[in-house]
Amino acid sequence: MTARVGVVTFPGSLDDGDAARAVRIAGAEPVRLWHGDPELHGVDAVVLPGGFSYGDYLRCGAIARFAPVMETLVDAARGGLPVLGICNGFQILCEAHLLPGALTRNQHLHFRNRDQHLRVESAGTAWTNTFQPGQEILVPVKNGEGCYVADTATLDALEAEGRVVARYVGGNPNGSQRDIAAITNAAGNVVGIMPHPEHAVEALTGPSLDGLGFFTSVLKHLVGTPA
């Protein structure tokens, strides 16, 4: 049976179509989910895409965190549902307290849009199991509020528990502490990443095919997960 991966659309979502396309290219069925509908419609995993949900008012992701779909999704994620938050989706996951820390204004105060090298630190998550630890990949980054911050105790815990999923290499585009580009929860089913793997799944439009691994990884994870 083909896996069904939900992609949530919020008011102001920008990359939901790209995320759905990446899901399809990986071999799954994308299912469009609406922010105002609390139902997840039986999906096997969920992507929270990039963009500017609710216009980034108050704080990036702060309003989206209270959307009806998020009430259901938070419970499902805590129950083991794989969830990937990309850029604004990462911000929403932090606001929903599914991931620790916060994403703040880039230290240089400029929007940064470029192809970015990352080093995969953890291949033990639902979204990175097709990578090798230490593998370097190239995906686009585009953000104005992508600076990951957390208190020292949280950063130390993320390091000690192997929950830093990816780091920036070849230059930090936003000033994120400890060059953190992606993190996971303790269970490994929820991942937040600031760069955009969905923009690196086709040779025609991306700088590489490296982003496809995030989407094929969740399919591999689902195959190995008991029904």
Q: Give the residue numbers marked as catalytic.
A: 87, 196, 198
Distances (CA, A) of 104 to 99, 107, 187, 210: 15, 8, 25, 26
Helices H / strands E in the chain, number of each? 5, 11
Instruction: Provide the β-strand partners of residue 82.
Output: none
Q: In 3-state terms, what secondary structure has residue 82?
A: coil
CA atoms in the 13 A half-sphere facing the CB of 6: 26
Alpha helices in 104-184 (DSSP H): 152-160
Distances (CA, A) of 156 to 52, 97, 134: 30, 18, 19
Name the token pair of 123: 């291949």
Strand 45-48 to strand 4-9: parallel, antiparallel, or no bridges (unpaired)? Answer: parallel
d(C-alpha 159, C-alpha 164), whole Å: 6
**78 alpha carbon, distance to own chain's centre:** 16
Cβ atoms < 10 Å from Cβ of 25: 17
